[in-house]
Structure 1
Amino acid sequence: MITYPENGTMKFFTCSTQQRYTSTKMATAVEIKAIMRIADAVCFDVDSTVIKEEGIDELAKFCGVGDAVAEMTQNAMGGNISFKTALTERLALIQPSRDQVNRLIIDQPPCLTEGMMDLVDRLQQRNVQVFLISGGFHSIVEHVAARINIPLNNVYANKLKFHLNGDYAGFDETQPTAESGGKGRVIGLLKKERGFKKVVMIGDGATDLEACPPADAFIGFGGNIIRQQIKEKAKWFVTSCQEITAELEQ
């Protein structure tokens, strides 16, 4: 939230401070845009935000169980069930092997959202640290990160486990992104360990919205899919990367 005291000095309050200050007034779009322009770190969701697809849905299609998994994904993104439950159930149905994951990346590489590379470039030119925080899989997300020049130590995602023969063996349940609230925990860790003062979260789903706080602002993204819950609750909701890029030039 931004306030303008009598002396005209503009002051910024984080989402958590704002919640203590008032339980009724939420940050406006104007305030979020102002925070975006002074942010020292911006965190992006990946599926349906940085890329056009939902990575787990594409993997499910590749493994022949696309329809069933897509319905589970919709429920998870809408916040209808816990993320960890949805992830466990979807992976149990897909049972992806190491070979299938690798072939998916080669045969059907993720498609970047229009304008995303330019947005990331603009942020980095402003010395803003860019992070990918995803409930998807590290092996896929790191491929996306390489394409948009984000270092691997700025990637937080779930990790699949495989048996020695390459068969699916589960996922690393200790990763913060494996659970609801995990993206917020990553942002809290980034603030603590890297000293960021203003962090913005951008994404299309419930797990992104709930990351504010500790993120100082949330931007709802509807450039690939519009989730009604996010459109209604996000104080700044955009349908293209260009809308965010334009604000950086103000």
Structure 2
Amino acid sequence: MQHSAQQQPTLEQCRTCVHSTRMTALQTRYDVEINMQPGSLYQAHRRPGFAVFDMDSTLIQQEVIDELARAVGLYDKVAAITEAAMRGEAPYTDFEASLRARVALLKGVETSIWEQLKAQTITFTPGAKELVRVLKKLGWKTAVLSGGFTPLAMWVKETLGLDYAHANHLVSDDGLNILTGELVPGAPIVHAQRKRELLLQLAAENSIPIERTIAVGDGSNDLLMMGAAGLGIAFNAKPKVQQAAPVRLNSGNLLDVMHILGYSAEEVNALRKEP
């Protein structure tokens, strides 16, 4: 049965229904994951839109700042801060403060670390390349909005063929070829609010209605952009993020985002085969 636009549930009502006690029990009993969205939104995503992605643990499988920390023997300390910040736990609910604290620990890391990470450490999430390729075939614009750092965000952009990349800028000493442990003064910090602002700004610049945007991420600092997008998708996210996000996707393959957008396996396979 189809409902009129006035009768359709809101995305928040859909989320509340999915997380209700009865629905949670049903999903647990049959080992399934149920997502719901208004029919009008489901239809909107059949038209070209704008997709924004977090980078760390979304487009790529690593947390970059943790990998940088290995270079100075501070992995455990930095990783603990990263995990707490991603879960939105005090005292690291202030992303900028936690970012500056972690970056300060990276003082003295050689700038050659970026090429080392690209060659030896960073791996793309299965399906990331295919998802971007399929979205581009359908006419979508794409972006990575990362609380990480520009050297890798720009590389991810170029490798995947994304349209935009925004991340944080680290200061380096070009004479010594090392990181100074500082962020570039005056450069915008890509925190949760900034991600939301960039989503809205880039969508407007491309004349894409907000209902035809999606935001995909895994951390608490992605929730604002998820909430601002036409559809926010928590991908293999922390429990608190899954509970708060409009839609969750626990999958080994990022290409499964296409099913959330309403595309069947046959349609996705056909798009993958097109030149």
Query: How would you bin the TM-score normalised by the shorter chain?
Result: 0.7 to 0.9
Which residue of 1 is the match for residue 4 of structure 2?
A: 4
Q: Whole-Å Cα distance in 1 between the matches of residues 206 and 186 of structure 2?
A: 21
Structure 1 residues without counterparts, runs of 5 or longer: 13-17
Identity of matched residues, %: 23
Which amino acid letter does the alignment assign opposite residue 226 of structure 2? Answer: C
Aligned to 2:234: 220
CA distance in 1, matches of 2:85, 2:188: 16
Equivalent-residue separation in structure 2 for 1:96 and 1:196 (angstroms): 43
Q: Which runs of 5+ in 2 are unaligned?
A: 16-34, 265-275
Establish whether residue 67 from structure 1 lines up as the match of residue 76 from structure 2: yes
CA contact (8 A) 2:54 2:144 kept: yes
What secondary structure, in the 3-state scheme, does the structure 2 residue paired with 1:200 have? Answer: strand
Contact 1:133 1:177 in 2 (8 A): no
Larger radius of gyration: 2
Task: From 36, 56, 60, give the equivalent of 1:29.
Answer: 36
Q: Which amino acid aligns with 2:165?
A: V
CA 1:4–1:68 in 2, change beyond 3 Å: closer, same or farther? Answer: same
Distance in 1, matches of 2:47 and 2:77, equals: 42
Distance 1:196 1:109 in 2: 36
Give the length in aligned residue pairs: 232
Bigger RCO (CA 8 Å, 6+ sep): 1
Equivalent residue, structure 2, for 1:163:
173
Does residue 243 of structure 1 match 2:256? yes
TM-score (norm 1): 0.81
1:74-223 equivalence runs, <5 A? 74-80=83-89, 81-151=93-163, 154-165=164-175, 166-169=177-180, 170-172=182-184, 174-197=186-209, 198-222=212-236
Deviations 1:83-125 (A, max 9, x none): 1011100011122545243343344241011111111111011
Q: CA deviation at 1:53?
A: 0.5
Secondary structure of the 1:249 match is coil
Offset of 1:189 from its aligned partner?
1.4
Distance apart, 1:214 and its partner CA: 2.7
TM-score (norm 2): 0.74
Say what the alpha-carbon RMSD is for the aligned residues. Answer: 2.8
Task: Spell out, residue by residue over 1:44-88, the C-alpha distance to the aligned partner (whole angstroms, 9 max, x if none).
Answer: 101000011011111111332111000000111112221101110
Cα deviation for residue 135 of structure 1 reads: 0.5
